[in-house]
Amino acid sequence: MADTPLAKSRTRPVYRNIGFGELRNYRLPIPGIASIVHRVTGIALFVALLFLLAMLQMSLKSEAGFEVFRTIIWGNILGKIVLSGLLFAVIYHMVAGFRHMIQDANKWLDLPMARSTAFAVFAISVALTALVVWRLC
């Protein structure tokens, strides 16, 4: 790039072959974070669904099976954290999916709306997850 006054006046960072030390400066914009979290939650849920089916089977097989789920799995802080995480994944994937389908219809595609709706997806998902977990505690 030529050393024009314009180029000198700007202090925009330039990244080429970024190293680990620069990763913290290279932030993904929030619509990008929303997109990758949608993918990660989708894959996680596809894998976790088999474990959820195992728990559903146990909870329906007998009253004792239901109590094992309620007292040992949901009654355990680790189980509660994992299941709350999966609940967040379900809710997040759904809410982000609604946003993606609205974008399929060519709406909310300009940068300010892409940013604010991505933020809203996180806020709504966290709030709804917290509400359900609170109701089940």
Partner 1 sequence: MATSSKFISEWWLQRVSAVVVAAYVLLVLALLLVNGTPNAAQWQALFGNVGFKLATLLALIATAYHGLVGAMHVWPDYVKSRAVLAVLNAYSWIAAAAIVLWAVYILFGMK
Q: Does 91 bind partner 1 (CB under 8 A)?
A: yes
Contact call for residue 63 and partner 1 (CB under 8 A): yes
Contact 23, 34 (CB under 8 A): no
Cβ-based nearer residue to partner 1, 23 or 136: 136
Q: Which of helix, strand or coil describes residue 38? A: helix
Task: Give yes or no for residue 51 binding partner 1 (CB under 8 A).
Answer: no
131 near partner 1, rule: CB under 8 A: yes
CB 8, min distance to partner 1, A: 38
Tell me if 57 contacts partner 1 by CB under 8 A: yes
Count of beta carbons in the 10 Å neighbourhood of residue 79? 14
> Is 124 an interacting residue with respect to partner 1 (CB under 8 A)?
no
Q: How does 51-69 read in b/e, with b if 16+ C-beta sit within 10 Å?
A: eeeebeeebeeeeeeeebb
